[in-house]
Amino acid sequence: MSDVVKDKWAALRQATPARIALGRTGAGLPTGANLEFQFAHARARDAVHSALDMDALEAELAPLETIRVASAAPDRANYLRRPDLGRKLAAGEADKLNARPLCDVAFVIADGLSSAAVQAHAASVVHAARAKLEGLSFGPVVVASQARVAIGDEIGAALGARLVVLLVGERPGLTVADSLGAYLTYGPKAGVKDSQRNCLSNIHGKGGMSYEQAAEKIAWLTRTALERGLTGTGLKEESGTLTQENAPHIGEA
């Protein structure tokens, strides 16, 4: 009779990236599980603190026009301690956006809490989404550093955009450190409430939402928002098989 004990959790582990049934060694985790956890934690910390390579991102966005702006947070430390500073432009930055032709849609890319997510996915999502929005007018792609979601309101207002699509690096977790979020806001202006936005989260293509799925949903939400004159809790996402909540994802602060 065999003494081999089958791992009852093996099949479930194949179906999810979650850490389940890790086992134990004495009162602690096995060495392998402990090392994997420390590696995931290090990746998450790197995603938060690493700087966005603006030159590389702009090269991937070509031939689209891009404009760089900075939030009122002077550095990463202040950005993390003062979320309010990341939600508004630094003094004088709006001047870079004024005197532009009015547009239907403005894409804004904010580094957020994971520059790794923006570096890996933002340009591909912008290109895929714009390809599905033929017939609409676009402002330049604005790349904002030390930025959070609400900075898109000020940027959109300065550009005279009817709607802003803001892509942002979501707070990294111990499973995925490079997840991108998309926030759509109709009629951007200072003081917009989070309930007036639609959100797509978990865009990264490795068990999450693919670029194509994200582009389809962004396109449906954009066209429908422009037709109905609203985004947020009054606009339910119906474009595909995945259901998205309208409330902001926990990854944004």
Q: Please give the structure tokens belonging to residue 204.
A: 């990264």
Cα separation, 143 vs 246, in Å, equals: 24
- 99 pLDDT band, cuts 50/70/90, is confident
Estimate the crossing angle of helix 54-61 against helix 123-131, to 10 degrees: 20
**Domain range annotation of the chain:** 49-228
Residue 250 pLDDT greater than 50, yes or no: no
Q: Measure Cα distances from 65 to 48, 141, 155, 237 in Å.
A: 27, 6, 15, 29
Residues 6+ apart with CB under 8 A from 14: none
What is the topology classification, in CATH, of domain 49-228?
Answer: Rossmann fold (3.40.50)
Residue 83 pLDDT greater than 90, yes or no: yes
Average pLDDT value for residue range 11-28? 74
Q: What percent of the chain has pLDDT over 70?
A: 83
Of 166, 161, 125, 164, nearest in space to 144 by CA: 166
Residue type, 208: G
Cα separation, 139 vs 154, in Å, equals: 14
pTM of the complete model: 0.82
Pick the more confident residue, 96 or 236: 96
Question: Which pLDDT score, from 0 to 100, does residue 13 have?
Answer: 72
Q: Answer for the pair 14, 8: CB distance below 8 angstroms, yes or no.
A: no
Mean per-residue pLDDT over the chain, rounded: 86
Cα separation, 186 vs 231, in Å, equals: 5
* Tens-place pLDDT, residues 115-125: 999 999 999 99
Average pLDDT value for residue range 96-111? 93
Q: Measure Cα distances from 186 to 26, 81, 148, 166, 222 in Å.
A: 56, 29, 17, 11, 9
**What is the chain's length?**
253
Helix ranges restricted to H, the chain: 10-15, 31-49, 54-61, 76-81, 115-117, 123-131, 151-159, 211-228
- 51 pLDDT band, cuts 50/70/90, is confident
Average pLDDT value for residue range 240-248? 41
Question: Which pLDDT score, from 0 to 100, does residue 47 have?
Answer: 59
Question: Which pLDDT score, from 0 to 100, does residue 11 have?
Answer: 76
Question: Which pLDDT score, from 0 to 100, does residue 5 have?
Answer: 60
Residue 244 pLDDT greater than 50, yes or no: no
Cα separation, 63 vs 65, in Å, equals: 6
Count of alpha carbons within 13 angstroms of residue 116, beta-carbon side: 18
Residue 247 pLDDT greater than 50, yes or no: no
* Tens-place pLDDT, residues 193-242: 999 999 999 998 777 899 999 999 999 999 999 999 999 998 986 655 44
* Tens-place pLDDT, residues 147-169: 999 999 999 999 999 999 999 99
